[in-house]
C-alpha cells in the first residue's frame, strides 16, 4: 500500500468522523437548554437540589453547584415542567417552564439558543416562612412575537 492510498483512507475516515459528529450534535440540540446560575443569599458549600417535574408526573433531581458559574439543564420540547430550586436555609423557588412551540415554527427552525436564567434564593426567616414566598411569580414560555423563549410574569 502506497503513501497516497494510506493518505486517502485516513482522509476519508477523518471526513466521516467529522460528519458523524455534526449528526450527533444536531440530534442533541432537540432540547431547550437552560443556562442556570444559582445565587443564594447566603452561600455555603452545599449544592442546590433542582427538582424537575415533567408533565405533572415524572420527577427527577439534579444537584447543581453554587459556584457563580452557569450550568446547563436540558429540557425536552413539547412538555410542561415545574422546576424547584432547593438550597439549605433558603426558601424554595419554583418556576414553570413550557417547552411547547407552534408546529409551523418547529418545522421552519427547531433550534433555539440557550436560555440564561439567574435564580436568586432568599434566606428563610420566621417572617417570610409564614408567607411561603415559594409560589411562582414568573415562568418561561415560547413567544411568537419574539420567536424565542421568554420569561413572563404569571397572574397572581
Q: What is the pLDDT of residues 62-120, one digit of tens each?
A: 999 998 889 999 999 999 999 999 999 999 999 999 999 999 999 988 889 999 999 99
Backbone angles phi, psi at 146, to 5 degrees: -90, -20
Q: Are 116 and 35 in contact (CB under 8 A)?
A: yes
Look up cell 423557588; give the residue.
93
pLDDT tier for residue 40 given thresholds of 50, 70 and 90: very high
Q: What is the pTM assigned to this prediction?
A: 0.75
Amino acid at each position: 500500500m502506497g503513501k497516497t492510498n494510506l493518505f486517502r483512507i485516513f482522509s476519508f475516515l477523518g471526513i466521516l468522523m467529522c460528519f458523524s459528529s455534526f449528526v450527533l450534535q444536531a440530534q442533541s440540540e432537540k432540547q431547550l437548554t437552560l443556562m442556570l446560575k444559582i445565587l443564594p443569599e447566603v452561600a455555603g458549600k452545599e449544592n442546590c437540589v433542582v427538582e424537575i417535574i415533567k408533565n405533572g408526573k415524572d420527577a427527577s433531581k439534579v444537584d447543581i453547584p453554587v459556584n457563580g458559574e452557569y450550568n446547563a439543564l436540558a429540557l425536552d420540547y413539547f412538555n410542561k415542567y415545574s422546576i424547584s430550586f432547593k438550597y439549605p436555609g433558603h426558601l424554595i423557588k419554583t418556576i414553570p417552564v413550557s417547552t411547547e412551540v407552534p408546529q409551523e415554527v418547529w418545522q421552519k427552525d427547531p433550534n433555539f439558543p440557550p436560555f440564561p436564567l439567574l435564580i436568586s434564593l432568599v434566606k428563610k426567616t420566621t417572617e417570610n416562612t409564614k408567607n411561603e414566598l415559594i409560589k411562582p411569580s414568573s415562568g418561561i414560555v415560547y413567544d411568537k412575537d419574539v420567536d424565542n423563549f421568554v420569561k413572563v410574569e404569571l397572574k397572581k
